[in-house]
């Protein structure tokens, strides 16, 4: 445990690194806004979820995954266009200071802390702002905590030594999100996310360093990424890379996500459009019969590929209501007006 009022490190980005990443962001048409926060840790009270605390150092995500459920969080900022989620990124500049306060107060001594539950903590903005690294610096100074990090990015390897330090003093799990090995398909579903090979390589590096890594096949898209042969190849690749466990969850479409996903399917995958609209046209979740049928298939593949059937709170067991608490992840930011020049400073 960190002593109360202890001096804790905060990492900053170099001026040269900031200029380089700013130039790249301008080319991509991305704007960054500073978002002041008093708290960075939010409590999750849903016992069906495998964590009690959530941290998201960024709001919005440049990876631009067409299925991302978290697009709705920008609606709280009066940004209803679903594309704003990947074009206007809010960075929580006071994240490390807020976390230091929570740690010194002993708030996080009990329960699992999940870093990256709504947006990727290693998205491109992290190269510039290093907020995730600043949080890991603090976690490395603590002991006896339970922490998970979820990402699609191989950038996490940059922080290998910090992660090793954390794992020696606390319980640490790194979750890699990957839904397909098909590079062409992955590229249209996740336009700016790292390719599958890079994620598996990062998983292998961390696993070889003694860090427990899981694979999250989330979301499973009916008719597209649920083919048994493709899933078997994915699970085998994860096992070879050293993944300790695999979990799944089917596609979840809140209205904001549907406004992005349905047009995408009609344009890029028209042969799938009718089935997707049949399954999700009037609901956010896949039908129960699909969940049950796919769950049986995935369970068999999981065992066949060498993964244990662990009876624990897994994302796969939460299919009936997996996301109801996600609106709480940034509850302290509701009502923040990104249009006020004094509150949000564009810095692309």
DSSP sequence for 89-152: EEE-TTHHHHHHHHHHTTTTSSSEEEE-SSS-TTSTHHHHH-HHHHHHHHHHT--S-EEEEEES
Question: Residues 115-144: pLDDT tens digits?
Answer: 998 899 999 999 999 999 999 999 999 999
Higher pLDDT, 11 or 97: 97
DSSP sequence for 266-312: HHH-HHHHHHHHHHHTT-SS--HHHHHHHHHHHHHHHHHTT-----S
pLDDT over 90 (residue 152): yes
Residues 6+ apart with CB under 8 A from 12: 130, 134
Whether 174 maps to a domain, the answer reads yes
pLDDT over 50 (residue 347): no
pLDDT over 60 (residue 314): no
Q: Determine what percent of the chain is predicted with pLDDT higher than 90.
A: 67
pLDDT over 50 (residue 160): yes
Residue in 27, 18, 33 with CA at minimum distance from that of residue 126: 18
Whether 23 maps to a domain, the answer reads no
Distance of CA 324 to the CA centre of its chain: 16
For residue 82, the model assigns a pLDDT of 81
CATH number at residue 318: 3.20.20.70
Whether 254 maps to a domain, the answer reads yes
Whether 251 maps to a domain, the answer reads yes
Instruction: Please give the mean pLDDT across all residues of the chain.
Output: 84
Whether 19 maps to a domain, the answer reads no
Whether 7 maps to a domain, the answer reads no
Whether 240 maps to a domain, the answer reads yes
Confidence at 334, pLDDT banded by 50, 70, 90:
very low
- For 130: left if phi > 0, alpha if psi spans -120 to 50, otherwise beta; the answer is left
Of 158-162, 290-294, 322-326, least confident by mean pLDDT is 322-326
Confidence at 294, pLDDT banded by 50, 70, 90:
very high
Question: Residues 247-283: pLDDT tens digits?
Answer: 999 999 989 999 999 999 999 999 999 999 999 999 9
First and final CA of the chain: distance in angstroms? 38
For residue 343, the model assigns a pLDDT of 36
Question: Residues 40-98: pLDDT tens digits?
Answer: 987 776 666 676 889 999 999 999 999 999 888 887 688 888 889 999 999 998 999 99
Confidence at 24, pLDDT banded by 50, 70, 90:
low
Number of domains in the chain: 1
Q: How many residues does the chain have?
A: 348
Whether 21 maps to a domain, the answer reads no
Higher pLDDT, 27 or 92: 92
pTM here is: 0.83
Confidence at 3, pLDDT banded by 50, 70, 90:
very low
> Mean pLDDT, to the nearest integer, of 15-41?
70
The strand ranges marked E within 192-244 are: 212-220
The domain containing residue 255 runs over which residues? 30-333
């Amino acid at each position: 445990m960190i002593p109360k009022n202890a001096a804790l490190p905060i990492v900053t980005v170099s001026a040269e690194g900031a200029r380089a990443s700013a130039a790249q962001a301008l080319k991509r048409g991305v704007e960054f806004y500073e978002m002041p926060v008093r708290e960075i840790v939010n409590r999750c009270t849903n016992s069906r979820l495998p964590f009690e605390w959530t941290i998201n150092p960024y709001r919005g995500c440049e990876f631009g995954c067409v299925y991302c459920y978290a697009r709705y969080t920008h609606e709280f900022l009066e940004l209803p266009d679903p594309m704003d989620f990947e074009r206007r990124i809010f960075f929580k500049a006071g994240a490390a200071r807020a976390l230091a306060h929570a740690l010194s107060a002993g708030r996080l001594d009990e329960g699992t802390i999940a870093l990256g539950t709504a947006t990727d903590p290693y998205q491109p903005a992290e190269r510039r702002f290093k907020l995730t690294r600043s949080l890991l610096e603090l976690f490395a100074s603590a002991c006896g905590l339970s922490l998970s990090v979820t990402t699609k990015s191989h950038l996490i390897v940059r922080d290998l030594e910090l992660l090793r330090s954390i794992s020696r003093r606390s319980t640490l799990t790194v979750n890699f999100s990957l839904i397909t090995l098909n590079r062409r398909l992955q590229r249209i579903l996740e336009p700016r996310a790292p390719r599958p090979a890079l994620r598996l390589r990062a998983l292998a590096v961390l696993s070889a360093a003694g860090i427990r890594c899981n694979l999250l096949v989330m979301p499973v898209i009916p008719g597209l990424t649920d083919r048994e042969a493709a899933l078997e190849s994915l699970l085998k690749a994860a096992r070879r890379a050293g993944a300790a466990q695999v979990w799944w969850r089917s596609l979840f479409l809140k209205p904001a996500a549907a406004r992005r996903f349905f047009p995408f399917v009609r344009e890029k995958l028209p042969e799938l459009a009718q089935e997707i609209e049949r399954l999700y046209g009037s609901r956010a979740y896949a039908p129960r019969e699909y969940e049950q049928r796919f769950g049986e298939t995935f369970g068999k593949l999981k065992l066949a590929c060498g993964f244990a059937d662990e009876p624990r709170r897994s994302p796969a067991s939460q299919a009936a209501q997996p996301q109801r608490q996600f609106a709480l992840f940034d509850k302290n930011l509701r009502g923040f007006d990104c249009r006020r020049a004094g509150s949000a400073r564009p810095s692309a």
